[in-house]
Homo-oligomer: A and B are copies of this chain.
Amino acid sequence: MEESFVPFRGIKNDLQGRLMCYKQDWTSGLRAGFRILAPTTYIFFASAIPVISFGEQLERDTDGVLTAVQTLASTALCGIIHSIIGGQPLLILGVAEPTVIMYTFMFNFAKNRPDLGSKLFLAWAGWVNVWTALLLFLFAILGACSIINRFTRLAGELFGLLIAMLFMQQAIKGLVDEFRIPERENPRLIEFQPSWRFANGMFALVLSFGLLLTALRSRKARSWRYGSGWLRGLVADYGVPLMVLVWTGTSYLPAGSIPKGIPRRLFSPNPWSPGAYENWTVMKDMLDVPVFYIIGAFVPATMIAVLYYFDHSVASQLAQQKEFNLRKPPSFHYDLLLLGFLTIFCGLIGIPPSNGVIPQSPMHTKSLATLKHQLLRNRLVATARKCMGMNASLGQVYGSMQEAYQQMQTPLIYQEPSAQGLKDLKESTIQMASSMGNINAPIDETVFDVEKEIDDLLPVEVKEQRLSNLLQAVMVGGCVAAMPLIKKIPTSVLWGYFAFMAIESLPGNQFWERILLLFTAPSRRYKVLEEYHATFVETVPFKTIAVFTVFQAAYLLVCFGITWIPIAGVLFPLMIMLLVPVRQYILPKFFKGAHLQDLDAAEYEEAPALSFNRGTEVQISRSTSFADDGEALDGMITRSRGEIRRMCSLKLTSSTATPAKEFKSLQSPDKVFSPRVSELRGNQNPWSSGRGPFSPKNGEARMSNLGKSG
């Protein structure tokens, strides 16, 4: 994305790009068939559960003016609109914690003013939203999203980890509260006697840890050794919702012997009660708000606008990270414009607005990558099997697989010509054929097990379409109707789910992985090299990694501390935006350019070599393979631009590091997210000694980098 501040240019570009693939966004989603339900359900739960919880929080804090019905309605309506006419359909919208905090603050302000009161609160909030929307329009038109380019991995991953910390904090706080008497409840109820309170807390521990542990396990089901393939796939795809059901069911097991209030369950208003819809007509009250307050609404509006601008763009960026190899264009400017309209819309019907959410948006992309992998895999395996059934040679089999692959490609390619993926597959064919002998001899499944080989051939791709986003939003809307069912979920299951979301967002975050590296014993650092790892592990001295990571962690803690400040706390994104100039002007004074490039590649620093780098990057990242039915994606590790630099240099220089790469593709192929090795060939027999993970000469030489500097 170019940096352009010419008014409307960004929006125009976005619209042009997305319109080109609009039809395909729908046809592609529909062609996926029932399998689209797996990512849909996964994201639906990730989207609905926090929104319900925030709704409860809002209900407590606004004396019931706003409830989970309103937060769900906003999430559903905005989600449906965005999925249909939004730019980037990978982006998930929802009512987020900062919105809840701002609304709470606004309610506390309004209810104490005699000329507003809680009666006119929603009308006033409507004005706040109008102002917010105007600011968002301004941002969108002036191309403010262009500077998202300057927003590097450093800031993005810090933000991601901060969100994970906030989710985890919520989980812990929720669990601790299970031992306490909730506010606004009658403390004389039987379930709030000390004994039952303690019992409730312990039960909550069992339920939330039960959910957390089983949900984490179920996500890894594809790599399980036991059970048939479809069962493992089913558990991996639907395990988390299933576990919510299972643990909710478990919470009813001791029902006979305990009071009704144990364990505590979600509390939500009946959506059919007469008072539940007062907010929808808030528009007619808006002119009753005194002018002074209408103008004053500009103050909270600036805060919300900055917040939304930041959250929305970052959520969108994190859903479109380089390593996903997306083929359709981004749409930052237009999406921000649309967000403005959505904000006004929500304001006028008296519900809190939604914006792009983390970690749901990147979770969405990840789950669609798994889906795409399965679709590609099934198709190519079927093709290969059919060919082998006709006594075809290896060459013929690959030929037909290439054809099938091409047929499944998105016809509208934004980033590169379609031949690229095909070329990759072809290269692998030749390489593989030569390793197996005659390319023209007929082969069968005992010689060539397509089920296993296929995973080395497939690049990471994402099923980019609008259907999953639309469906999940519709399902969130369905929650309003299903409220009587949702109320059966124990709050403790919710806390377990919050912890699950926090933990699910960690893998792939290089910042997190660098923190882990700091705690890795020096003698065990070679294990990091054995697995898939980012370039910086090999190219940047350990001490530099440590200093960089400690700086980032300290910054994270400061941001986390800021969130605890009562109202100004919602502005913590400003701290994160401050990282842009810090990264651009201050960090280069403390770190070598090359190291900084590997740790945190910034586009503006790469400008001169852009054309070359971009071409190479695409080729390499396309050739990235992942193994065994997509299970590697669960533990997918994001790859920086630096990775490509590394690969390029390998082509030119002698291949001292080659054995490690080759070795990586040898060992545990189902765990390793390994690049194809065609570029790395040359050193033909480094492993014939058949010993240890590193042949001493090469392995140790590279190890010294880590071992000595630590």
Contacts and interface: CB of A to CB of B under 8 A. Distances in A.
A228 B523 CA distance: 8
Interface centre among A227, A432, A666, A668 (most CB of B within 10 A): A666
Contacts of A173: none
Contacts of A668: 530, 667-668, 693
Given A195-B196, A225-B524, A521-B226, A435 B677 contact: no
Contacts of A530: 668
A252 interface: no
B516 A692 contact: no
A532 interface: no
A378 B329 CA distance: 58
Nearest to A627: B692
B199 A195 contact: yes
Interface string A213-257: 000000000001111110010000000000000000000001001
A669 B687 contact: no
Contacts of A691: 432, 435, 456, 665-666
A688 interface: yes
Contacts of A684: 685, 688
Interface size for chain A: under 10, 10 to 19, 20 to 34, or 35 or more residues?
35 or more
A367 to B, nearest CB: 23
Given A195-B195, A666-B690, A225 B696 contact: no
A648 interface: no
Contacts of A662: 690
A198 to B, nearest CB: 5
A232 B527 CA distance: 16
A419 interface: no
Given A196-B195, A257-B198, A435-B689, A225 B521 contact: yes
Contacts of A528: 225
A572 to B, nearest CB: 29
B666 A687 contact: yes
A204 to B, nearest CB: 9
A264 to B, nearest CB: 14
B688 A226 contact: no
Interface string A443-463: 001111101110010000000
Contact of A206 (B205, B663, B689, B692): B205
Contacts of A677: 690
Contacts of A205: 202, 206
A521 B528 CA distance: 30
A249 to B, nearest CB: 16
Given A225-B524, A257-B194, A435-B689, A696 B666 contact: no
B254 A198 contact: yes
Contacts of A196: 195, 198-199
Interface in A659-710: 662-663, 665-670, 677, 681, 684-685, 687-697, 700-701, 703-704
A193 interface: yes
A666 B663 contact: yes
Contacts of A193: 195
B198 A258 contact: yes
A203 interface: yes
A519 B203 contact: no
Contacts of A574: none
A524 to B, nearest CB: 5
B685 A666 contact: no
Contacts of A54: none
A533 to B, nearest CB: 12
Give how many copies assemble into the complex: 2
A520 interface: yes
Contact of A523 (B258, B451, B519, B694): B451
Nearest to A428: B691
A526 interface: yes
A81 interface: no
Contacts of A516: 225-226
A697 B443 CA distance: 11
Interface string A418-449: 00000000000000100111000000011111
A698 to B, nearest CB: 10
Contacts of A258: 194-195, 198
A696 B449 contact: yes
Contact of A685 (B452, B521, B688, B692): B688
A208 to B, nearest CB: 11
Contacts of A667: 666-668, 693
Contact of A456 (B224, B435, B446, B692): B692
Contact of A700 (B198, B224, B437, B447): B447
Given A519-B226, A692-B669, A526 B452 contact: yes
Given A519-B227, A677-B690, A436 B202 contact: no
A449 B206 CA distance: 46
A455 to B, nearest CB: 9
Contact of A521 (B232, B445, B452, B681): B232
A691 B452 CA distance: 11
B225 A446 contact: no
Interface in A307-354: none
B195 A202 contact: no
Nearest to A520: B225
A528 B453 CA distance: 18
A447 B690 contact: no
A696 B436 contact: yes
B202 A696 contact: no
Given A254-B198, A523-B451, A690 B704 contact: no
Contacts of A663: 666
Nearest to A704: B446
Given A446-B701, A667-B693, 19 more contacts: A193-B195, A198-B199, A205-B206, A225-B528, A436-B689, A436-B696, A447-B696, A449-B703, A452-B526, A452-B693, A453-B692, A453-B696, A662-B690, A665-B690, A665-B692, A666-B690, A667-B667, A677-B690, A685-B685
14 contacts: A193-B195, A195-B195, A198-B257, A209-B209, A225-B527, A229-B521, A436-B696, A449-B700, A453-B696, A456-B692, A662-B690, A666-B690, A667-B693, A684-B688
6 residue pairs, one from A and one from B, having the closest CB atoms: A435-B689, A202-B202, A199-B199, A195-B195, A667-B667, A662-B690
